[in-house]
Structure 1
Amino acid sequence: VHPWNMMGFDSMEKYWLPWLVGMPAETSRAICSMVFSGVFEKLPDLRACFAHAGGSFLPTIGRVEHGFNCRPDLVAIDNPVNPREYLGKFWVDCITHDPVMLEYILKTAGPDKVTLGSDYPFPLGDLEIGAFIEEMDLPKETVDDIFCNNILDWLKLEKSAFL
């Protein structure tokens, strides 16, 4: 799932804000909408992958969960499942451009739910696909999972079909 037509686009034309702020917010809005509306309960076999490491959803999961807990009358009206319970139930790409944030994403989403992303052909894409991951001090198994195994798992494909 990749954002486009961000909310508030007309009010953030300066400073490249649609790409810097709008897309992460829109990705978070997509995840929250699917969680709060019960899409994952209605479609338990749905296998979703979100661009930009899930946008601002994972970094703000504490705030999202707090809102769910303190205002269920506004947040939990269509789905009583705590949003934190969805961590590890969908995939995200690795496009963070920040090693500290990627470590957090790996810990929060789960190392088996982070896939290689490029954001091609968009201007904030990873121009040297995979170089960012290779430069980090990640275990070889985690790198292999990000580069190959996790996307195969998401798509329910066997590695042997490509060798």
Structure 2
Amino acid sequence: MFSQEFEYQLPLVVEALLPFAIKLTRNRDAAQDLCQETLCRALMNKDKFAAGTSMEAWLLVIMRNIFLNNYRRKQLHDKFESYSKHEVAHAADRNLHNNSTEMALTLKELQEGMDGLPGKFKVTFQLYSQGYKYQEIADMMKEPMGTIKSRIHMAKRMLRNNVPAWAEAYA
């Protein structure tokens, strides 16, 4: 009965999503993508919709949360990108004065360290380094958040032990 009510109400409030999405993104294509992602998330989580709650308000909260999470993830990615570019430029400068083999060896050690992480630690740490939050990783991997935190901590410890030159970057 509740599922039928949900499926009846959903099409009635869909039109209210696009104006809010445009206001958030300031881009019609991005707004349509945000609406689609919101509807997908709502359908996947329809069991969490409480009867008697405003469907429109529920969907707008989902949309806002998706937008904020994507925005934060993009900010972190941009920060990492600029940091990486800065580090590459700094390393190139340093290589003029130092042996370039030293830098290549350090990057090789880092890659080997990442490749050497056991499966679940590697996947969890890669998601973490891409900017996903602990809870998002836990949901994706269907694991408790404590397990995810522990894996990330252990992955950092393994990297510190295997790649001492990069230890501070992951501390």
TM-score (norm 2): 0.24
Greater share of residues in strand = 1
Compare relative contact order (CA 8 Å, sep 6+) and give the higher one, 1 or 2. 1
Greater share of residues in helix = 2
TM-score (norm 1): 0.25
Greater gyration radius: 2
